[in-house]
Chains A and B, each alone.
Chain A
């Protein structure tokens, strides 16, 4: 029998989310309809989500697979890394370096950007953002963080 793999994956993902949320309500008091506990409404939703997921899977049975299309793996890796790297470094390295890192990582996500474009973009984005966010909007974050302090001249 044919199975639409996209629908299977989609329904499966919803069922998985439903199971995870349902499991999360295990320790929560359910209460009654009169006095609903913190677990009542989420458990209700989780059950609905689970049922919807199962129906999506069921409807995918016996159908030809829907096209999913290519996944830009390189883009996926670097785009998701961007905010994470920013989060890891903005306190330690400071705003300026964190911006530069994100910009550089982001350009790597595209197969089209060469090294020259990368440097140019990183530099211009960093300068632009420092001027706009730090000086213009006055965000209260250190431009140069403690990790870089030992390398600063004049200390």
Chain B
């Protein structure tokens, strides 16, 4: 009963014409950047954060969320049509999707991807709605010790599930945590690491850091090998899948949805991991594994369902606990803070409009995407002919204006350049930038909860292990840490992420 009531509140918010418009703009923009390789949802959301400043909180979050899951749809379109995944989460879709397109079945492949995504999105949205309240209530029982352990687990798990070197990811998180502490210490009022610069006496601007490491560093990475994109696709004749196609996609879509939903909730999970895991599972349980790589329907349906489900359920920890599971969610937390909302379990109680509005908007957004994606395929493909030479000056200009508009402070722009340089150098040295941003957002939270827990326990470190919930979380974190460093698991992990490269 409660659920229905809450959904009603949600739909009244998400069906508001203004929110509907911004939801549409979000998914449209998401699809657009999903189609374009070289610019991802993280950079786009970072770029748009300042613009959402003037919007109502729920409107801005609805739009930003739309960009994230919209990008999953867009990425698969180009993966199928021209074997060029617009997003890394669609990389596996390209394997069988492009083969289907070459066999003249591009239309059904696109339809399978879209319908699978829509089904997964619907289920995942329902899951978010059902689990949001119980989790929120549980979170309200959390003390500082539990919060510390939970954030710790989140950080560790995000390392384990990310690709690349574990050591480097740990170092990136630690560095991010340190950068997050720059500015005034809330408890003592002391200035930390400000180098006497008054502009950062409060804190480093989150938007500048995000745009530096994701926007600028990403442009630089793309400038390394500028090349023209050759786009040649066959005309799409028929779109609707045959009855046989439908029969073949039911199982993979269901499994992909389940797997994606589960992996999305995990810290560090989300769309990318979900799609890879779903593809691997399908191939393993298939009666005809040899069909994979040659245009298997399951190879399109499962990862597409999984990446969309994962994208949706990764909102659960962010919405209920205020703890971001990946870089995009870190940006959403940033967007809430900009709006003056403290993310955490209180959001569901104090801002039901926002909380349920965002959840229900995801379903509406998914519906829009299905209707938008199939008829507009031709347009999206034509967009690919825009050369990068034209694209990145526009990105740089938008970034500059955007950063400046947050605080009207020119120093924030110098911060962007600094973090652009640091981010790019670290990328060149084999470090992924996402953990840094995650650490940056969580740094102050981690410290505050550590301090409060220690004060309550009178300086006794064992508090983290004597409180059962906190101990459980820490034990899981340690297990994860041990597991990633075990040689056999490490080899397996590298194998899984190998396909990504």
Contact = CB atoms under 8 A, between A and B. Distances in A.
Interface string B227-266: 0000000000000000000000000000000000000000
A108 B216 CA distance: 15
Nearest to A4: B430
Interface in A85-99: 86-88, 90-91, 95, 98-99
B451 A79 contact: no
Contact of A13 (B393, B399, B425, B451): B425
Given A41-B450, A87-B410, A13 B220 contact: no
A13 B400 contact: no
Nearest to B403: A83
B333 interface: no
Interface stretch (B93-101, B296-304, B353-361, B454-462): B454-462
A118 to B, nearest CB: 9
Interface in B139-167: 165, 167
A1 interface: no
Interface stretch (B171-179, B268-276, B374-382): B171-179
A31 B170 CA distance: 26
Contact of A32 (B181, B185, B226, B459): B459
Interface in B432-456: 446-447, 450-451, 454-455
Contacts of A149: none
A144 interface: no
B389 interface: yes
A28 B426 contact: no
A80 B401 CA distance: 15
B68 interface: no
A87 B404 CA distance: 8
B414 interface: yes
Interface in B203-243: 216, 219-220, 223-224, 226
B167 A59 contact: yes
A53 B165 CA distance: 13
A112 to B, nearest CB: 5
Nearest to A108: B393
A66 B428 CA distance: 11
A9 interface: yes
Given A37-B188, A82-B400, A110-B392, A91 B454 contact: no
B482 interface: no
Interface of A: 6-7, 9-10, 13-14, 17, 21, 24-25, 28-29, 32-39, 41-42, 45-46, 48-49, 52-53, 55-56, 59, 66, 68-72, 75-76, 79-84, 86-88, 90-91, 95, 98-99, 102-103, 106-107, 109-113, 117, 121, 125, 129, 133, 137, 139, 141
Interface of B: 51, 54, 165, 167-168, 170-171, 174-175, 177-178, 181, 185, 187-188, 190, 192-193, 216, 219-220, 223-224, 226, 387-390, 392-394, 396-401, 403-405, 408, 410-414, 416-417, 420-421, 424-426, 428-431, 446-447, 450-451, 454-455, 458-459, 461
25 contacts: A13-B429, A14-B171, A25-B192, A28-B190, A35-B455, A38-B188, A46-B178, A52-B174, A71-B224, A79-B216, A79-B220, A79-B223, A83-B399, A83-B413, A84-B414, A102-B397, A106-B397, A107-B393, A109-B223, A111-B226, A112-B226, A113-B389, A117-B389, A129-B398, A139-B405
